[in-house]
Amino acid sequence: MANSIAWAVTGAGHYLVESVEAIRKISLENRVCTFVSSAGEEVLHMYGLFDQLSEISNGGYLEEIFLEREEGCSSPKAGRFMMGKFDMLIIAPATANTVAKIVCGIADGLVTNAAALANKAGVPVYILPTDVKDNARTKTPHIIDRELCRSCDVCPPKEKCPNQAIEEQIDLMRCDGCGICVDFCEYGAIKGGTIPVVTRQLDKKNIEQLRRLPGFTVIESTYELKHIV
């Protein structure tokens, strides 16, 4: 029997690509309703992943996409947890900010309200924190490598960008991650990359506190998701 799964996305790039792919596979055999924080919406666009949400949640009942900017301050759609509509809540990836708020019992947005109400309703909550592992590396959105850039008088990537997102660097608030710019730069100056992620002691402490909260389970990779479902 298919599960009804609530999936929440926060504003993290780390584990984002892997989380989207893992949930996409889960959605092939289960109903997935997606909750997206305002920061999560921005970051999904930066990584060119936002349009994939419609493949995961097709718009039917319990398969909608809820955006925080459209839901109002009271996050009424999170009330579905109290109505017993979901079998579980998966927050992946979860920023350090989200983890800290959950640990402190703060519910001031769509995702933290979902976590609080799921917990009150006895719905299990599974969380993949971005800082769950030390010495990790995370994928970045597209950037301009200034050492490779020739500052051409006529910049084909800039001319072809549908969102006018390219100046001295890429304006990630305009970029939707389409990747057109990569193909048009003959010098290979536009690309994605990886950067190291440093975990603060404070974030480690919050994750350990999260592990001790009844009803919450910390997972350490997207590979664990298929076993949970």
Give the residue extent of every domain in the chain.
Answer: 4-133+199-228, 141-192
> What integer pLDDT is reported at residue 10 of this predicted model?
98
What's the CATH number of domain 141-192, 3.40.190.10, 3.40.50.10860, 1.20.140.10, 3.30.70.20? 3.30.70.20
Interval 165-183 mean pLDDT: 89
* Residue positions counted in the chain: 229
- Report the CATH fold assignment for 4-133+199-228: Rossmann fold (3.40.50)
Check pLDDT > 90 for residue 191. no
Task: For residue 135, name the pLDDT band (cuts at 50, 70, 90).
Answer: confident
List phi, psi (to 5°) of 61.
Answer: -60, 135
Q: What is the pLDDT of residues 1-13, one digit of tens each?
A: 689 999 999 999 9
Model-wide pTM > 0.85? yes
Is 23 within 8 Å of 7 (Cβ atoms)?
A: yes
Q: What percent of the chain has pLDDT over 70?
A: 100
Q: CA separation (Å) from 118 to 5, 25, 82, 111, 207? A: 12, 23, 7, 10, 19
CB-based burial label for 52 (10 Å; 0-12, 13-18, 19+)? middle
- Residue 1 has what pLDDT? 65
DSSP reduced 3-state for 10: coil
Asked if the domains 4-133+199-228 and 141-192 are classified in one and the same CATH topology, the answer is no
Integer CA distances (angstroms), 51 to 188, 203, 216, in order: 26, 31, 29
Residue 2 C-beta-side C-alpha neighbours within 13 Å: 13
CA dist 20 to 25, 127, 190, Å? 9, 14, 24
What pLDDT was estimated at residue 136? Answer: 78
Average pLDDT on 85-107 reads 98
Put residue 177 in one of left, alpha, beta given phi > 0 → left and psi -120 to 50 → alpha: left
Average per-residue pLDDT for the chain: 94
Please report the pLDDT score of residue 211 as a whole number. Answer: 98
Structure-block tokens of residue 35 = 């909750």
Dump pLDDT digits (tens) for 192-223.
878 888 889 999 999 999 999 999 999 999 99
- Please write the tens of the pLDDT for every residue from 34-89: 999 999 999 999 999 999 999 999 999 999 999 999 998 899 999 999 999 999 99
